[in-house]
Structure 1
Amino acid sequence: MGQLGYFSIGSLDGFIADPSGDFSWAEPDEEVHQYANDQLLGVDLHLYGRRTYELMTVWETDLSFAAANRLYAEFAERWVDADKIVYSSTLEEPVTRRTRLERTFDPEAVRALKDSTPGDLMIAGPTLAGQALRAGLVDVVDQVLLPIVIGGGLPMYPAGLRLDLELMDERRFAGGAVAVRHRVVGPAQATRSTAG
């Protein structure tokens, strides 16, 4: 039985892209990239929404990009070797191997995947991860927080979500980034608005 982990790299104030959709500021340095590569060890299945999947396809479809350096090549090899599911009502067909298209996100089907997948599962992209978090499917949340505040944009977590977490591990990087890994210990809850 595999665990489902949500991995993200974002700003200290909790965003993965700025209001214009730019995330070039989040490009990892070598040390953080190696950490991201290591997170793929033991992952047998990746879950993506359409936008995140389309960003990730470069690891298989652009061989010159994937071969640009040792870290890229290592990440590409691990990514290509894992199975992938992309959830989209508009994507015509996947462009990568070992990829299945699902039209809707079905929490019960994902629960069955967790039971049947020998290794771990990883979900990426805050929109799809938000659905999995709300459904109580995510076991581990792994974030790399970069030393930048961008003030708004695409948040790592959906608004109104509360999660009870237990710190499992933390790591500081020379460039100022911090990785924190938490176990989800309580069911997702909707927060109440205090606005009057």
Structure 2
Amino acid sequence: MGRLLVTAICSVDGYVADTEGSFEFAFPTAEVHQAVNDLERGVGTQLLGRRTYEVMTYWETAPTEGDDPEADFARIWSGVEKVVFSTTLAEVSAPRTRLVRAFDVEAVRALVEAAPHDVEIGGPTLAAEAWRAGLVDEVRLFLVPAIVGGGLAALPDGVRHRLTLLEQRTYDEGFVLLRYAVQH
């Protein structure tokens, strides 16, 4: 049985993108990128909203040769199944990817329970659905040493959960990883 994970790289004030929609402030250092990669190795399926899918399609054609974190991530990304939730996309073009029109709580619960590996939900808008339904098992936040003052929040408003700290780690340039288990 898999777990449903939420991972975000966000500002200290909790935003994955600023008020203009930019996430340049959140570009990881090589050390942080490698840490993300190491966490991603246990993920077998990615659940994505339309915007996150569109951003992540870059990794479908990114170079996979070499030892650098970007090539490593491209190899990891190409090996996972992807489910894109969108009412507006006509089709998906990436391999190992299927399109689903609506977020069905019971279908996602069944997918996670049947998964031999962890399932990760990408994008805060889609993840909010899983938070509200009580499906999230673990949250992994990479805090960027920046305050952006507003934008797209990493975590949804109006949702309350108790968390248990699993790990805290600091990285170069002031990045911090906080991993929490969600108490159910």
Shorter-chain TM-score range: over 0.9
Which residue of the partner structure matches residue 59 of structure 2?
59
Q: How does 1:26-105 map to 2 (within 5 A)?
A: 26-61=26-61, 63-64=62-63, 70-105=68-103
Aligned equivalent of 1:135: 133
Q: Which residue of structure 1 aligns with residue 143 of structure 2?
A: 145
Matches of 2:96 and 2:29 in 1, distance apart? 29
Shift of 1:162: 1.4
- Structure 1 unmatched ranges of 5 or more: 187-196
Match of 1:123 in 2: 121
CA distance in 1, matches of 2:127, 2:67: 30
- Aligned-partner residue type, residue 176 of structure 2: V
Q: Which residue of 1 aligns with 2:25?
A: 25
**Contact 2:66–2:72, Cα closer than 8 Å, also in 1:** no
Q: Secondary structure at the match of 1:28?
A: coil
Is there any run of 5+ residues in structure 2 with no aligned partner, and where?
none
Q: Secondary structure at the match of 2:174?
A: coil
Paired residue secondary structure (2:172): coil
Task: Give the aligned length.
Answer: 184
Bigger Rg, which one: 1
Q: Distance in 2 between matches of 1:158 and 1:139?
A: 15
2:2 maps to what in 1? 2
Helix, strand or coil at the partner of 1:19: coil
Name segments (4+ residues, structure 1) moved above 4 Å: 66-69
| Cα displacement (A) at 1:42 | 1.5
Greater Cα offset, 158-167 or 19-28: 158-167
CA distance in 1, matches of 2:44, 2:9: 20
Q: Distance in 2 between matches of 1:127 and 1:15?
A: 12
Alpha-carbon separation, structure 1, partners of 2:17 and 2:181: 24
TM-score normalised by length of structure 2: 0.96
Rounded Cα–Cα distance in structure 1 between residues aligned with 2:66 and 2:21: 25
1:162 is matched with which residue? 160
Instruction: Supply the AA of the counterpart residue of 1:52.
Output: T
- For residues 55-90 of structure 1, what are the alpha-carbon distances to aligned partners after superposition, in whole Å with 9 as ceiling and x for unaligned? 0010013x35x6587211100111110000000001
The 3-state SS of whatever aligns with 2:142 is: strand
| Structure 2 partner of 1:180 | 178
The secondary structure found in structure 2 opposite 1:175 is: helix
Contact 2:121 2:127 in 1 (8 A): yes
Q: Please report how far the alpha carbon of residue 174 of structure 1 lies from its aligned counterpart in structure 2 after TM superposition.
A: 2.1
Aligned mates of 1:174, 1:83 — CA distance in 2: 31
**Cα distance between partner residues in 1 of 2:158 and 2:21:** 22
Provide the aligned C-alpha RMSD in A. Answer: 1.3
Give the secondary structure class of the aligned counterpart of 1:162: coil
State the SS of the aligned residue for 1:46.
strand
